[in-house]
Amino acid sequence: MRAGRVAGAHSADGAGAGAPAPQVKVDISALVHTRTHHPEAIAEAAARRSRRPLLNEDGKLMIVAADHPARGALGVGGDRLAMANRAELLERLCLALSRPGVDGVLATADILDDLLLLGALDGKVVMGSMNRGGLQGAAFELDDRFTGHRAEDIQRLGFDAGKLLLRIDYDDPGSLTTLESTARAIDDMAARRLPVFVEPFISRRTPEGKVKNDLSPEAVTRSIAIASGLGGSSAYTWLKVPVTDDPDDMAEVMETSTLPAVLLGGEVGDDQDGAYEKWRSALRLPTVRGLVVGRSLLYPADGDVAAAVDTAVGLL
């Protein structure tokens, strides 16, 4: 067992793409014991974690996202609590991180702390999720305050980047507060020379009160333009953008900014092959540097996490 791994977290040696996936079993009792008796072990694991550049020589980035639970967004497909079992989620994450070509993970502090104790983050890009205050379905969903990692936390723990969500509703005066707090978070990250991935949307509430993101080419273009201009410097700002309703328009949409970007995978539903093809096309664009994908890889319709991850990596 390598240093930093909690007893009870076991996996076979890593295998190449197409080979049998290593079996991972997380012992929740061991994690809880460590958290109870040795909480300092988390900071110690972070301090000794081996690090790597944000981008390897190929210049591409493949990140698995798992920051959904902290927003109360636990559903996948028809299962409203699919991500509620923490042991299962950690096992799926460890499996995904073990696959060749996966660069790292995006998550909140609780999940990253578990992964640190499991020894799963050595040599990986670690991205802290910064604003999780806009709980899914809440009346205050668009009041998306910074309740997650702060810039100083990301620096203190030796993590590699941060990520924030920026949803703008033109009919909601509170969006101005969201814009201002986002700009200050970008400033804080730039002052520490830490990359921050901004995920912008133009959003609105449906007549039923549900927040809906507008994925039309015009709306995505407008959101990119707004996000690119926030803060006193864009030197460390990346964009995390969705593929539009019409992927043929993505080339023109991505001409809106020179900031490097990654594609937001999102939930793909039953048409996973169609989603992969949309990603493949957009990945050819000059500003697009990779993928950040969560539930569709961790909880694929056929249950084969390794195959879903390997397919996504192959798109790069």
The residue with greater pLDDT, 267 or 101, is 101
Q: What pLDDT, on a 0 to 100 scale, did the predictor assign at position 88?
A: 96
The DSSP line for 192-203 is TT--EEEEEEEE
Does the residue 97 lie in any domain? Answer: yes
Query: 15 in a domain, yes or no?
Result: no
> Exposed, middle or buried, 40 (CB in 10 Å: 0-12/13-18/19+)?
exposed
Residues in contact with 20: Cβ distance below 8 Å, sequence separation at least 6, in sequence order? none
The dihedral through the CA atoms of 269, 309, 199, 225 has a sign that is negative
DSSP 3-state of 170 = coil
Confidence band of 19 (pLDDT split at 50, 70, 90): low
67 occurs within a structural domain: yes
92: number of Cβ within 10 Å: 23
**pLDDT tens for each residue of 38-90:** 999 999 999 999 999 999 988 999 999 999 999 999 999 888 999 999 999 99
3 within a domain of the structure (yes/no): no
Q: What is the CATH number of the domain that holds 169?
A: 3.20.20.70
For residue 110, the enclosing domain spans 22-315
Judged against a pLDDT cut of 80, whether residue 229 lies above it is answered with yes
Do 266 and 213 form a contact (C-beta atoms < 8 A)? Answer: no
Does residue 103 lie in a domain region?
yes
Asked if the structure places residue 85 within a domain, the reply is yes
Please report whether residue 7 resides in a domain: no
Tally the domains of the chain.
1
Residue 263 lies in a domain: yes
Q: Which pair of structure tokens corresponds to residue 172? A: 């909601």
Cα–Cα distance between 309 and 249 in angstroms, integer? Answer: 26
> What are the pLDDT digits (tens) for 256-283?
999 999 999 866 666 777 778 888 989 9
